[in-house]
Amino acid sequence: MLHFEGDKDFPQPPAESWAKFSDLRFIVQCIPDVEAVLKAEASEAQIKLRPGFSFVRSTLEITLRVLETAPPNSTRIAAHSKGIGSTSDVEASLLLTPRGDGTRIHWTADITALGGLLKAVPQGLIRGAAQKVVSDAWTSIENRLNQSPPSPVPEQ
């Protein structure tokens, strides 16, 4: 239906990056506009969020599932969302390759189904909103990965 893809570089080595990107407990911490994490396991998560779109005013309940992993090279994740009068299905794939000391991630995301009121929303509006969500999510991921662990407080 709608296809998105791109590349992102991270300073962490592939094994460390894969451990984060294949774990939905990490991913849900990086999704913008989350109001509540209802379930957070490595291979399945459920969240409630309030998107900032004019065409979706209610909260959405999103279920994420890891569909496939091939450590430390790839992972595939499905997301199903439901809200008042709307549903959507998205599938995302991440391919990790070494780049210097870090990792390059080639990502794809496909909106495979839109249901209910979302069917009536013009695809250009859906595309623009999805691109903003992807951009905000990558920014959040970069910020979380670049946070250094807190320094120990010296004892006195």
pLDDT (tens digit, 0 to 9) for every residue of the chain, 156 residues total? 899 999 999 999 988 999 999 999 999 999 988 999 999 999 999 999 987 665 556 788 999 999 999 998 999 999 999 988 889 999 999 999 999 999 999 999 999 999 998 888 888 888 988 888 889 999 999 999 887 554 444 555
- pTM (predicted TM-score): 0.86
| Alpha-carbon distance values, 136 to 1, 52, 70 (Å) | 22, 12, 26
* Cα gap 138→38, rounded to integer Å: 22
Q: Which residues of 90-109 are buried (b: 16+ CB within 10 A; e: fewer)?
A: bbbbbebeeeeeebbbebeb
